[in-house]
Amino acid sequence: MTPVPRFSASQLREPIVLAPMGGGPSTPELAVAVSEAGGLGFLAAGYRTPAQVRQEIREVRRRTERPFGVSVFATPAAIADPAAVDRYAASLQADAARLGVEPGEPRHDDDALDEKLAVAAEEGVAVLSFTFGSPGKDVVERLQRAGTAVWVTATTVEEAVAAAAGGADALVVQGVEAGGHRGSFQDERPGDIGLLALLQLVGAAADLPLVATGGIMTGRGVAAVLAAGAVAAQLGSAFMRTPEAGTTPAHRTALAGDRPTALTRAFTGRSARGIANRFMAEHEAEAPRGYPDVHHVTAPLRAAARERGEAEAVNLWAGQAYPLAAELPAGELVRRLGEEARAALRAAAARLNSG
Amino acid sequence: MTPVPRFSASQLREPIVLAPMGGGPSTPELAVAVSEAGGLGFLAAGYRTPAQVRQEIREVRRRTERPFGVSVFATPAAIADPAAVDRYAASLQADAARLGVEPGEPRHDDDALDEKLAVAAEEGVAVLSFTFGSPGKDVVERLQRAGTAVWVTATTVEEAVAAAAGGADALVVQGVEAGGHRGSFQDERPGDIGLLALLQLVGAAADLPLVATGGIMTGRGVAAVLAAGAVAAQLGSAFMRTPEAGTTPAHRTALAGDRPTALTRAFTGRSARGIANRFMAEHEAEAPRGYPDVHHVTAPLRAAARERGEAEAVNLWAGQAYPLAAELPAGELVRRLGEEARAALRAAAARLNSG
């Protein structure tokens, strides 16, 4: 049997990958728009049931013949100190009461990883992207036999080397600029390296196609990571204000401002970057490492605050350059980024050859 | 009288600026080698007397007709809590005793800024670069009338906008990846933005030539920042292992390894990035903000440790991608970076146009 040729980001007409954005912003509409424009759309399987994931995959497939990807969370590590999670839940009582809810029960689950992997393989998605760790070689090979390319997120050279040894088809190189969760294998030591430094380091250490992510918002940014050796740029925040994204109104309002971002464990027990707000300021100090347990603890508070449009009490994931996000249809944004990237490379070449 | 045309980094044959590296690594030899190869050499006036600075400027000028720059520290802010500096000095007694020295006296000085500015103007240096803040408009204009281009380091959009309003000729955009001191105007809020994100943000907010710095080690890195809109790349760590650099043997040994870097105030009372070592681990927690007072306190300890080749007790400034530093003559490095940058832009353009 001839092996099924797997998708490579170097085939994309535009070197633009939509970052998976769990918890709302990722929608089938957004994935379709990006893939149809020549980029690679993505669905975020995280926090969805396997049935929902299957339904979303089928919806995208109905609306585009072009490839797209699905992202999952690798199995979370055990919680070092469950009592700390309980203490944290107790410390949120006042906030919860004000919002008319109770903190959620801490729960250590794997977000139905195996079922989601089975769905992805059965549905034959082009790319399955892992974050929070590298899957076992058996998992990688099973997906690859089903024709699915396996991408693994790396925030350090060590993670990149481990992912390459594990058989990944490509690496998603995530700089510290990135919004949302750090993709680090171990949250005790979340990678803190800037994207450009990391691309150079990983490029020297691992011989795999690199998809660059973290703080890329413009065609110049796309051109820069290609020049640094990436085959494509993965953008999240840049798409959060598009009409196709499921971004909440409170989040959209925050994205239209320019408050600084910060890393926080206060919402989920795992390092993630968001626009700094009251919840982060008040709870960061006592927030323990403990993913996804803390995620389940804060979920009712965040849902209630979201409902009320209270931006100060919800996670406003965003990368460091989010103020450059435009309100623009996603397909138009993909085309604009491609055009700007071409112009940026021409200008850089003119600069280099004029000396 | 016709105004003197001031130097612009866009005139450089190679878009490579040598980062000023105070405390030893910057030497006239290194500046000469970089300028002669078509880049822009730099002298670090910090921690030198005005007479030494004048002598170094004249030495460089004797050996090259090409332009070069000099860097200075902007006037430091007052110390918020002098007692904390005293407590910190006391906490270093055991380390000092082991090294056979006494902690230095805390001293709040401005490193003879005015005299150094006078020297730079009298000697007519091509570029004077400020870090830790933007000088007053009068200072900027005085230097510019003397034909000196004024560059100001910015780590945030706010700093970039302030520097532009202050009349700077160009901005040194410093990403969080950078080794040595953060150039932040206020150390209470040191800029933490990755270089690529910052270049896009600053490019949208300030209409000045941008010199990009932080984690750039390869021709791909140079090409990337040009694609992101910079007119030149400024590299420090990349030159620290060249024979022309004044880097100490202990520092060279550390640079040949791959230990992670971290930000620390333990050596100088101001945020700076170095290779993580014992001194940082043991003293970071109690190190107060207090520059340059803490610098003077730790100076005798660092001098003694340097003498003994004790890498665990000295500041090993390095950017996040320092493991890519090569042992290579500086002029050869400049030419290699230029060649690699051209190749990287050609490859990126081929990728973008193949889609």
* A2 pLDDT tier (thresholds 50, 70, 90): low
Long-range contacts of B94-103 (CB under 8 A, 24+ apart): B95/B279, B95/B301, B95/B313, B96/B300, B96/B301, B99/B300, B99/B301, B99/B304, B99/B305, B99/B308, B99/B310, B99/B313, B100/B304, B101/B300, B101/B301, B101/B303, B101/B304, B102/B300, B103/B297, B103/B298, B103/B300, B103/B301
Please state, rounded to an integer, the average pLDDT across all residues of chain B. Answer: 96
> Around A251, how many Cα atoms within 13 Å sit in the side-chain half-sphere?
28
Q: Which strand (E) or helix (H) includes residue A135? A: none
Res. B18: pLDDT tops 90: yes
CB atoms near residue B136 (< 10 Å): 13
Question: Which residue among A200, A228, A320 sits closest to B194, beta carbon to beta carbon?
Answer: A320
pLDDT for A308? 94
The whole-angstrom separation of Cα A270 and Cα A50 is 23
pLDDT for A189? 87
Instruction: Spell out the residues 6+ positions from residue A341 whose beta carbon is closer than 8 angstroms to its own.
Output: A15, A219, A220, A222, A223, A226, B352
pLDDT for B253? 97
Give the CA angle between residues A317, A268, A180 to the nearest 5°.
25
Q: Which residue of A has its CA nearest to B13?
A: A355
Inter-chain CB proximity B194 and A194 less than 8 Å: yes
Query: Percentage of chain B with pLDDT > 90?
Result: 95
ipTM: 0.97
Res. A355: pLDDT tops 70: no
Give the CA angle between residues A88, A89, A90 to the nearest 5°.
90
State both tokens at A316.
Answer: 């406003």
Distance from CA of A83 to the nearest CA of B (A): 26
Per residue in A203-224, pLDDT (tens digit) is 999 999 999 999 999 999 999 9
Single-letter amino acid, residue A95: D
Of residues B80 and B118, which shows the higher confidence score?
B118
- pTM score, whole prediction: 0.97
Q: What is the set of domains in chain B, with CATH numbers?
A: 1-75+110-247+325-355 (3.20.20.70), 80-108+248-322 (no CATH)
The whole-angstrom separation of Cα A320 and Cα A182 is 13
Res. A68: pLDDT tops 70: yes
pLDDT for B355? 56
For residues A8-34, give the mean pLDDT. Answer: 96
Inter-chain CB proximity B197 and A345 less than 8 Å: no
Res. B20: pLDDT tops 60: yes
CB A228 within 8 A of CB B224: yes
Partners of residue A221 in chain B, C-beta under 8 Å: 196-197, 200, 228
Inter-chain CB proximity A224 and B228 less than 8 Å: yes
Per residue in B125-165, pLDDT (tens digit) is 999 999 999 999 999 999 999 999 999 999 999 999 999 99
Instruction: Spell out the residues 6+ positions from residue B239 whose beta carbon is closer than 8 angstroms to its own.
Output: B18, B19, B21, B25, B30, B34, B245, B325, B330, B333
For residues A145-150, give the mean pLDDT. Answer: 96
CB A104 within 8 A of CB A303: no
Question: Which residue among B199, B218, B352 sits closest to A15, beta carbon to beta carbon?
Answer: B352
The whole-angstrom separation of Cα A33 and Cα A36 is 5
The residue assigned the tokens 């464990």 is A265
Question: Which residue among B197, B341, B351 sits closest to A177, beta carbon to beta carbon?
Answer: B197
- Among candidate residues B236, B233, B240, the one with its CA nearest the CA of residue B327: B240
Residue B44 CA: distances (Å) to CA of A157, B19, B130, B271, B347: 32, 9, 10, 18, 36
Per DSSP, the three-state class of A46 is coil
The whole-angstrom separation of Cα A153 and Cα A181 is 11
pLDDT for A4? 66
- Among candidate residues A252, A179, A245, A330, the one with its CA nearest the CA of residue A28: A245
Query: Percentage of chain B with pLDDT > 70?
Result: 99
Beta-bridged to residue A252, according to DSSP, are none
pLDDT for B97? 97
Inter-chain CB proximity A197 and B218 less than 8 Å: no
Beta-bridged to residue A188, according to DSSP, are none
- Among candidate residues A341, A349, A201, the one with its CA nearest the CA of residue B226: A349
* B2 pLDDT tier (thresholds 50, 70, 90): low
Q: Which 8-state DSSP code applies to residue A110?
A: -
* B75 pLDDT tier (thresholds 50, 70, 90): very high
The whole-angstrom separation of Cα A241 and Cα A234 is 16
pLDDT for B163? 98
pLDDT for B72? 98
Inter-chain CB proximity A346 and B341 less than 8 Å: no
* B3 pLDDT tier (thresholds 50, 70, 90): low
State both tokens at B277.
Answer: 């070592």
pLDDT for B4? 66
Res. A147: pLDDT tops 70: yes
The residue assigned the tokens 């921690």 is B47
Per DSSP, the three-state class of A52 is helix
Res. B5: pLDDT tops 90: no
- The dihedral built from the CA positions of residue B200, A341, A194 and A152, taken in this order, carries a sign that is positive
- Among candidate residues A33, A57, A55, the one with its CA nearest the CA of residue A43: A57
Question: Which residue among A177, A231, A258 sits closest to B194, beta carbon to beta carbon?
Answer: A177
CB atoms near residue B122 (< 10 Å): 11
CB A68 within 8 A of CB A40: yes
CB atoms near residue A101 (< 10 Å): 18
Inter-chain CB proximity A229 and B351 less than 8 Å: no
